[in-house]
Amino acid sequence: MAKILQLDAHVADLIAAGEVVERPASVIKELIENSIDSGATMVTVEIKGGGMTYMRVTDNGCGIAPEDTETAFLRHATSKLRDEKGLEAIMTLGFRGEALAAIAAVSRVELLTRETGAETGTSLSVEGGAVKARELAGCPEGTTMIVRDLFYNTPARLKFMKTDRAEGAGVSAQVISSALSHPEVSVRYIKDGKEECHTPGDGRIDSCIYSLFGREFAGGLLKAATSDDAVTVSGFVSTPVSARGNRSYQFFFVNGRIVKSKTLQAALEQAYKNSLFTGRFPSCVLYITLSPSQVDVNVHPTKTEVKFLNEHQVFDGVYYAALSALESEGRKDAFRISE
């Protein structure tokens, strides 16, 4: 008898889900990215119990057509990528078609959506990956996703969750990076009934930073910018006196996507080589823009790691942006958010 058998689809889904959905924060990341990709100008995020029991993301984006609602929850089902060639020119945050399938496999999801201009909307409930009900529903234009009881059917994963407080903190950090990644989208965040933050969505990086971190942090930042044919860098870096004991306020965005990158971190810190003691770290909110063909975002399921085709180019862009900001400090033309 054959010893090697292909896993059934449900088990395969559960395994794949584990890669995309690690904790409540990963669900929130994916849902906000979908909202941003939908062209939304307003996104509201609400969580209860650290996100484990309840998460809701509502947007005013393009909505989903009734006939697409069930397909959206299938693995590798996406409206953002059509063929192999498209992989080289990804302009959206999503493209793998995995998030909704993964989230729905390990929770109870309710979708409420109405396409722009459509007469009625659709409600769909999915539990542990199985569609339970689909109905016509009255609702505003846009999309609401409610995710309940995360990992209710995967006890092994549930065991690894931290306290609600710690998971909630993870969600908060995620909402902040997502909001920063797109200052043109207004993000409102409600945690256990209390509004935690609300970005204006006016497209200005400075007002977005101010609304998320307050006056003191914003006041310790200098405007940074460089641009050449290949790479544009813009945003803010901290003055040396506002340095911190850790790197938790270093935010790098590549083509609108939050990324973790040793290269970018090293480039930033190199610029502070002569102005900071060891153990002190600069903060930054930097947006790096380059041709999508110059960066591979398909390195990791959560897409927070990226590969640059030309590491030096990107390193130099960040390094010189930070360096010239530092050199401008104290000069009349230096731009500080508090001014």
The residue behind tokens 């102005």 is 275
What are φ and ψ of residue 303, in 5° steps?
65, 20
At 134, is the secondary structure helix, strand, or coil?
A: strand
The tokens for 272 are 């502070």
Burial (0-12, 13-18, 19+ Cβ within 10 Å), 63: buried
For ligand ADP, the binding residue among 94, 129, 220, 301 (CB under 6 A) is 94
Rank residues 47 and 267 by Cβ distance to ligand ADP and give the closer one. Answer: 47
For ligand ADP, the binding residue among 53, 54, 65, 80 (CB under 6 A) is 80
Q: Pick what 206 binds: ligand ADP, Mg ion, none; C-beta below 5 to 8 Å, kind-dependent.
A: none
Shortest spacing between CB 292 and ligand ADP, in angstroms: 15
Binding range to Mg ion, per CB under 5 A, among 90-98, 109-117, 127-135, 210-218: 90-98
For ligand ADP, the binding residue among 26, 44, 60, 78 (CB under 6 A) is 78
Shortest spacing between CB 256 and ligand ADP, in angstroms: 14
**Residue 94 binds to Mg ion (criterion: CB under 5 A):** yes
How many other CB atoms are there within 10 angstroms of residue 224's CB atom?
26
**Residue 325 binds to ligand ADP (criterion: CB under 6 A):** no
* Interaction mask 261-300, ligand ADP, x per CB under 6 A: ----------------------------------------
How many other CB atoms are there within 10 angstroms of residue 134's CB atom?
15
Shortest spacing between CB 281 and ligand ADP, in angstroms: 33
**Residue 99 binds to Mg ion (criterion: CB under 5 A):** yes
The tokens for 126 are 């999915």
User: Which residues 13-42 are close enough to bind ligand ADP by CB under 6 A?
Assistant: 30, 34-35, 38
Q: Pick what 254 binds: ligand ADP, Mg ion, none; C-beta below 5 to 8 Å, kind-dependent.
A: none
The residue nearest Mg ion at its CB is 94
Query: Contact 34/118 with Cβ under 8 angstroms?
Result: no
Residue 114 and residue 136: Cα distance in Å, rounded?
10
Residue 109 and residue 148: Cα distance in Å, rounded?
6
Shortest spacing between CB 251 and ligand ADP, in angstroms: 22
Residue 77 and residue 305: Cα distance in Å, rounded?
22
Query: Contact 317/232 with Cβ under 8 angstroms?
Result: yes
Residue 268 and residue 287: Cα distance in Å, rounded?
13
**Residue 99 binds to ligand ADP (criterion: CB under 6 A):** yes
Rank residues 306 and 318 by Cβ distance to Mg ion and give the closer one. Answer: 306
The residue nearest ligand ADP at its CB is 94
**Residue 107 binds to ligand ADP (criterion: CB under 6 A):** no
Shortest spacing between CB 100 and Mg ion, in angstroms: 7
Bridge pairing between strands 250-254 and 257-259: antiparallel
Shortest spacing between CB 96 and Mg ion, in angstroms: 7
Residue 52 and residue 304: Cα distance in Å, rounded?
22
Residue 221 and residue 249: Cα distance in Å, rounded?
12
For Mg ion, the binding residue among 26, 34, 172, 255 (CB under 5 A) is 34
**Residue 20 binds to Mg ion (criterion: CB under 5 A):** no
Binding range to Mg ion, per CB under 5 A, among 16-24, 93-101, 186-194, 246-254: 93-101
Residue 150 and residue 131: Cα distance in Å, rounded?
16
Residue 115 and residue 64: Cα distance in Å, rounded?
5
For ligand ADP, the binding residue among 28, 55, 62, 233 (CB under 6 A) is 62
Residue 81 and residue 92: Cα distance in Å, rounded?
9
Site residues for ligand ADP per CB under 6 A: 30, 34-35, 38, 59, 61-64, 72, 77-80, 94-101, 143
